[in-house]
Amino acid sequence: GENVEQHPSTLSVQEGDSAVIKCTYSDSASNYFPWYKQELGKRPQLIIDIRSNVGEKKDQRIAVTLNKTAKHFSLHITETQPEDSAVYFCACTSYGKLTFGQGTILTVHP
C-alpha cells in the first residue's frame, strides 16, 4: 500500500520567516496531494491541494510543489504568523484511498 513519509516532525520558526515541510510517497498511482492544517483541539482542514498534472500551486502565503518523478511534494509557508502554529499533514490519494503523513508540529514564535 501507499507509504507517506513527512519531515520534519517539529519545526520552530520566528514570525516572518519561511517554513518548509516535505513529504515523499511510494505509490506512483497517487494523483491528488492535499495538505491539512489541524489547530489544537480541532478537526483537520484542507489548506491547499495539488493534482498530479500540476507542478506548483500558490494561494497567498502558502504554496505547494510536486515532483512526480521523484515522488515528493512540499508545503511552503512564507511570512509566517503566530496563527500559523498548528499541526500540518500531507496526504495523497490513490484509487480513493487517502493516506496521511505523520504530521509536522509548526510553532511560530512572535
Residues in contact with other proteins by the rule CB under 8 A: 1, 6, 9, 31-32, 34, 43-46, 49, 51, 89, 91, 93, 96-103
What span, in angstroms and rounded, lies between the C-alpha atoms of 39 and 103?
Answer: 12
Q: How far is the CB of 50 from other proteins (least distance, A)?
A: 11
Spell out the residues 6+ positions from residue 42 whose beta carbon is closer than 8 angstroms to its own.
none
Least Å from the CB of residue 62 to other proteins: 15
CA atoms of 81 and 91, how far apart (whole Å): 23
Whichever of 91 and 108 has its CB closer to other proteins, that residue is: 91
